[in-house]
Structure 1
């Protein structure tokens, strides 16, 4: 019998300062993909918060990111002085899609 468990690591990150925050997103409902950070600019708030390419943005300021990329970008850009995000590290599946599978 084999049981496979995927561990999920979520962090709450706090970016302070002002936009632009220094990260780029891809994905969204129009691509049927989660919103993934593809680039982090050194010297910006995102780098200071240790965001990395491959991290998944799950929410911004307590608003779930389950829509289009443009909706997510609008939420990010509308964050003034502080952006609070829930981030799944290194492309780990979000908790709502957590998988526990095994063979009998």
Structure 2
């Protein structure tokens, strides 16, 4: 269930970033630095998991990549950098895939 909520959060985040890139004003951009908290948490967790299973396993690598992506998104959105529409589309797609994965994980 938490994975699906995270996927919904990614879809909303990607949509907000797309709206911003289309020229609409998004207030309180500094609030996106809140994304650094889950980013740091994911990176620290990837190191913890890597100590158990090793860096060749997919779990620590996927958590590390997720942390880096969340950190970059938070920084890009707070600094008002122009990312085009490709990054928002990728974030929305990642959110949808996460929701579908969570749904099939509950069924199977």
TM more than 0.5: no
Structure with the larger strand share: 1
Structure with the larger helix share: 2
Question: How does the TM-score come out when normalised to structure 2?
Answer: 0.30
Question: How does the TM-score come out when normalised to structure 1?
Answer: 0.31
